[in-house]
């Protein structure tokens, strides 16, 4: 039976956190479909997913590990819902998140909504809260969303788990583009917003886990900055009516400052023999 909302959980070697993530989704008082896609994990990810005796949970497994973009696209392709949320297998949803966002998405003029978020550590303790959506609370058009993403970057926007989008718009833009991994989610959000408005809620509805084992933590700063540079210029070339040359240059200047700061920190850490300063 087709559900109104599908929650995708792409999981790879997520045995440490998957149970907590799924519980935060299933504890929502909302009629949903939960699609877990095990990306050929070698730990107990599959067993943990199967331990949930819940008809809302549908489990799939890849025979071989797919690149992240292909895997996330496959996860969404397995859904039946009108709306889709993608929750990484180490992040969580906070109580009431799904009902609140479905109420917003009932407006057909809204293409995507997202919320503020908090950061939790490996043990689930809150490190920071009330983060995300700078200048994006309330209803905003595609131009405002794209310009803010370029100016502030994906980290300031928020995690994938904070957003809900329409499946038909996902299909229209061709899904996630996995060639640029770090901005992959905000790249999708920007493109689907070409079909409607963005709505940012002040409520904190999701949490991103700051851990030593997630992909973001294992990606070098140089790779992130390089990908963001390519992302800015691609978005500007594809949507010049929303992202002008000045906006692209402003984003590039932000990246240049971030790179300079990273060089400064590395120089100090090397001089003082303090590798801990690099974290």
pLDDT, tens only, 65-106: 999 999 999 999 999 999 999 999 999 999 999 999 999 999
Helix ranges (DSSP H) in 90-244: 97-105, 142-152, 154-157, 167-172, 184-192, 215-218, 221-238
Percent of the chain residues topping a pLDDT of 90: 73
Distance between CA atoms of residues 80 and 74, nearest Å: 12
pLDDT, tens only, 157-174: 889 999 999 999 999 999
With vertex at residue 239, the alpha carbon angle to CA 248 and CA 69, rounded to the nearest 5 degrees, is 90
Buried b (16+ CB within 10 A) or exposed e, 232-253: bebbbeebeebbeeebbeebee
| pLDDT score, position 219 | 53
Instruction: Spell out the residues 6+ positions from residue 197 whose beta carbon is closer than 8 angstroms to its own.
Output: 109, 110, 111, 139, 140, 141, 142
Distance between CA atoms of residues 26 and 267, nearest Å: 47
| pLDDT score, position 66 | 97
3-state secondary structure of 150: helix
Structural domains of the chain, with CATH: 5-278 (3.90.550.10)
Across 227-248, average pLDDT: 91
Cβ atoms < 10 Å from Cβ of 21: 24
């Amino acid at each position: 039976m087709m559900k109104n909302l599908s929650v995708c959980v792409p999981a790879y070697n997520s045995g440490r956190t998957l149970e907590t993530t799924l519980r935060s989704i299933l504890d929502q008082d909302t009629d949903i479909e939960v699609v877990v896609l095990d990306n050929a994990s070698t730990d107990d990810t599959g067993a943990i997913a199967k331990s949930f005796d819940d008809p809302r949970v549908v489990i799939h497994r890849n025979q071989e590990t797919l690149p992240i973009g292909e895997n996330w696209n496959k996860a969404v392709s397995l859904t039946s819902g009108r709306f889709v949320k993608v929750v990484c297998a180490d992040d969580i949803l906070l109580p009431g998140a799904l009902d609140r966002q479905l109420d917003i998405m009932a407006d057909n003029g809204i293409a995507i909504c997202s919320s503020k978020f908090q950061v939790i550590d490996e043990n689930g303790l809150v490190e920071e809260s009330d983060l995300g959506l700078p200048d994006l609370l309330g209803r905003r058009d595609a131009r405002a969303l794209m310009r803010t993403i370029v100016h502030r970057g994906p980290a300031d926007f928020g995690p994938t788990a904070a957003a809900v989008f329409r499946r038909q718009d996902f299909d229209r833009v061709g899904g996630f583009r996995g060639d640029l991994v770090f901005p992959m989610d905000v790249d999708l959000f920007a493109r689907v917003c070409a079909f409607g408005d963005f709505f940012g809620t002040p409520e904190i509805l999701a949490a991103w886990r700051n851990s030593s084992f997630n992909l973001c933590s294992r990606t070098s700063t140089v790779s992130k900055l390089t990908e963001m540079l390519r992302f800015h210029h691609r978005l500007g070339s594809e949507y010049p009516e929303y992202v002008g040359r000045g906006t692209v240059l402003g984003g590039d200047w932000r990246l240049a400052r971030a790179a300079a700061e990273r060089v400064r920190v590395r120089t100090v850490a090397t001089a003082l023999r303090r590798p801990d300063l690099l974290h």
